[in-house]
A and B are shown apart, each in its own frame.
Chain A
């Protein structure tokens, strides 16, 4: 049987829980951080509109996860557990921010993904692609959190629907539906924006 992300997660979590060697525990933890760091930062960024705040939240969330990992009874559900910690960390950050009232601007400078770049296309086409990507990204940030989460897990983490369902503790049909609806919502938002422009 091939190893699924959940299996990998479980093995790493068990290493962290059972290993007596601090080095092994830290290495296992680092692998989990490396696996989910970008998704966590993106999810936080979409709520906070600040990359630096998002990274701070991600660090906080992973530190909390490190502290409480021994209490995680189902190692295979690490991702869902982590996402709950992230959500709480985001809420804490928003509360802190309300006190500070210091909202930073989002300074995400998107680079064109090589996946979309076609050879032989000029700079104009590249600019158009960048525009489309940014339009979709901006529209995505306006989606409800649950949709953003499934899209990030599906298209950034490349998790199959089953793994997402396991991580979030939802039926697979719900997850499929949520991805479908999220894409449809984005399509609708883009359609409206395009109609408004023209």
Chain B
């Protein structure tokens, strides 16, 4: 089972239902859940991370922000899905949505305390917002591309020189291209000179014919 699958199937894997029902376990039924969603509509900065513009924008806001440089920290959200392992998880969202763990040791609801957020049901949180799992494709695309790119060896200067050196047209083609460019630059005066030359030749020919006829 892949990591994402495992995460999706067992989001609060750390504690069982019997051990820790936690408010996040029954997020949709939690008292004040709807109010919490309303709270989400207001950006609540914490550690430099803003909340989504509106609850319904939860994943799409990630998408949009994740598309730009400014969204790197948000894009990290879907990967770990574990507040204890990933400091990038926007804890504000969890806290605002009432995703506190009710079974933590000190029974407090502190968004800065990882223990207070541990065991919350991110899957339910996502379902409530979009009814589909959030996959941080962006990060995997980046990692996948870099991982594949790492297997590709960049040719050295000698290799590159050997390609273009092997090319019999190397010198002549470059010279030809330069010649064409120069020709384009000087073409119109050449055309003008050629036109004048032809005109002069015709005039001279006409003059010569006339001279012959007059004799």
Do A and B originate from a single complex?
yes
* Interface segment, one of A75-83, A92-100, A113-121: A113-121
Say yes or no: A151 contacts B148, CB within 8 Å. Answer: no
Given known pairs A29-B160, A63-B163, A180-B63, the reply for A115 and B146 (CB within 8 Å) is yes
The one of B3, B139, B177 in contact with A70, judged by C-beta atoms closer than 8 angstroms, is B177
- Tell me the chain A residues, 44-74 only, with Cβ under 8 Å from chain B: 45, 51, 55, 59, 62-63, 66-71
The interface residues of chain A, by DSSP majority, are classed as: helix
Task: Check if A86 is an interface residue, CB within 8 A of chain B.
Answer: no
Q: Which residues in B have their C-beta under 8 angstroms from that of A128?
A: 1-3, 6
Task: Check if B64 is an interface residue, CB within 8 A of chain A.
Answer: yes
The interface residues of chain B, by DSSP majority, are classed as: helix
Nearest-neighbour CB distance to chain A for B22, whole angstroms, equals: 24
Task: Check if B44 is an interface residue, CB within 8 A of chain A.
Answer: no
Task: Check if B213 is an interface residue, CB within 8 A of chain A.
Answer: no
Say yes or no: A198 contacts B5, CB within 8 Å. Answer: yes
Given known pairs A62-B163, A67-B167, the reply for A113 and B143 (CB within 8 Å) is yes
Bits for B28-61, please: 1 = Cβ < 8 Å to A, else 0: 0000000000000000000000000000000000
Say yes or no: B155 contacts A110, CB within 8 Å. Answer: no
The one of A66, A132, A155, A197 in contact with B142, judged by C-beta atoms closer than 8 angstroms, is A155
Q: Which residues in A have their C-beta under 8 angstroms from that of B5?
A: 194, 197-198
Task: Check if B186 is an interface residue, CB within 8 A of chain A.
Answer: no
The one of B2, B3, B144, B170 in contact with A140, judged by C-beta atoms closer than 8 angstroms, is B144
The one of A26, A109, A151, A184 in contact with B157, judged by C-beta atoms closer than 8 angstroms, is A26
Count A-B contacts at CB 8 Å.
155
Q: Which residues in A have their C-beta under 8 angstroms from that of B4?
A: 132, 194
Contact size range, B: 35 or more
Given known pairs A131-B2, A187-B137, the reply for A26 and B164 (CB within 8 Å) is yes
Docked Cα-Cα span, A151 to B149, in Å, equals 13
- Tell me the chain B residues, 135-174 only, with Cβ under 8 Å from chain A: 135, 137-152, 154-157, 160-161, 163-164, 167, 169-170, 173-174
Say yes or no: B150 contacts A113, CB within 8 Å. Answer: yes
Given known pairs A136-B137, A183-B67, A198-B5, the reply for A110 and B160 (CB within 8 Å) is no
Task: Check if A111 is an interface residue, CB within 8 A of chain B.
Answer: yes
Say yes or no: A66 contacts B146, CB within 8 Å. Answer: no
Q: Which residues in B have their C-beta under 8 angstroms from that of A41?
A: 152
Nearest-neighbour CB distance to chain B for A115, whole angstroms, equals: 6
Task: Check if B127 is an interface residue, CB within 8 A of chain A.
Answer: no
Interface residues of B, Cβ cutoff 8 Å to A:
1-6, 63-64, 66-69, 79, 85, 132-133, 135, 137-152, 154-157, 160-161, 163-164, 167, 169-170, 173-174, 177-178, 180-181
